Amino acid sequence: MSEEEAPEPEAPAGTDEDDVNAKLFGKWEVSDIQYRDPSTRRYLSVTPIAHTMGRHAQKQFKKSEISIVERLANRLMKTGANAGKKQQALGIVRDAFDIVHERTEENPIQVLVRAVENSAPREETVRLKYGGISVPKAVDVAPQRRVDQALKFIADGAHSSSFKTPVDAAEALANQLIGAADYDVQTYAVGQKEEKERVAAAAR
């Protein structure tokens, strides 16, 4: 067979054009996200996959490779009413993203990344014992723990704002994301971050 008649090589598996151009929830681009904090950059994974079926659970630090959107949904399931309801949590995140986009006209994934960066504490305190006396000591927070704490603050803020109130869960989550992205200290997540750093500064 001549070179002109040779068949073209097949594309490697996993490089389908639909996979490359996939969007989160079928709406939101994940390719043009900007990061301001270099320390948390590697722990803020953004992918078009919103549900990985818990494949990360077998390895200690594998969670950092999961989409930050799925990790937020997992955090929303920590409360009693939502425990184990992954599809319900993803529905809340999806609706919250629509509200965020409607209000800010930005990619809600970008808003989420900025909210996590602004809500991640840089310092916290640990307790050291000296001769039976407990003394607080300020320590730097590891980047992975900073992301974990930020997601916890955002989810807790959304829960406290919507629990036994007329505010819808998606609306409460959208308020937390927008407020944290704008570094509004009245937002629960940013307020908790500021409080942790204030206590740590006093313990230096």
Q: Looking at the domain assignment, is residue 17 inside a domain?
A: no
Q: Looking at the domain assignment, is residue 12 inside a domain?
A: no
Range from 73-82, 125-134, 182-191 carrying the lowest mean pLDDT? 73-82
Q: Looking at the domain assignment, is residue 104 inside a domain?
A: yes
Confidence check: pLDDT of 62 > 80: no
Q: Looking at the domain assignment, is residue 92 inside a domain?
A: yes
Q: Tell me the per-residue pLDDT of 125-165, one tens digit each, with 9 for 90 and over.
A: 888 888 888 888 899 999 999 999 999 999 999 988 888 88
**Domain range holding 78?**
22-202
Q: What is the pLDDT of residue 80?
A: 66
Report the alpha-carbon distance of residue 56 to residue 34 in Å, rounded: 25
Helix count (H) and strand count (E) of the chain?
Answer: 7, 2
Q: Tell me the per-residue pLDDT of 35-47, one tens digit each, with 9 for 90 and over.
A: 998 988 888 988 8
Question: Model-level pTM?
Answer: 0.81
Q: What is the pLDDT of residue 122?
A: 92
Which stretches of 35-150 are assigned E, i.e. beta strand?
123-130, 133-140
What pLDDT band is residue 79 in, cutting at 50, 70 and 90? low
Q: Looking at the domain assignment, is residue 7 inside a domain?
A: no
DSSP string over 162-188: HTTSSS-HHHHHHHHHHHHHTT-TTSH
Q: Looking at the domain assignment, is residue 177 inside a domain?
A: yes
Q: Which helix (H) or strand (E) holds 71?
A: helix 68-76
Confidence check: pLDDT of 58 > 70: no
Tally the domains of the chain: 1
- Report CA dihedral (66, 70, 71, 76) to the nearest 10 degrees: -170
Q: Looking at the domain assignment, is residue 3 inside a domain?
A: no
Q: Looking at the domain assignment, is residue 5 inside a domain?
A: no
Q: Tell me the per-residue pLDDT of 17-26, one tens digit each, with 9 for 90 and over.
A: 444 467 888 7
Cβ neighbours of 107 (radius 10 Å): 20
114: CATH = 1.10.455.10
> What angle do helix axes 86-104 and 68-76 make, rounded to 10 degrees?
120
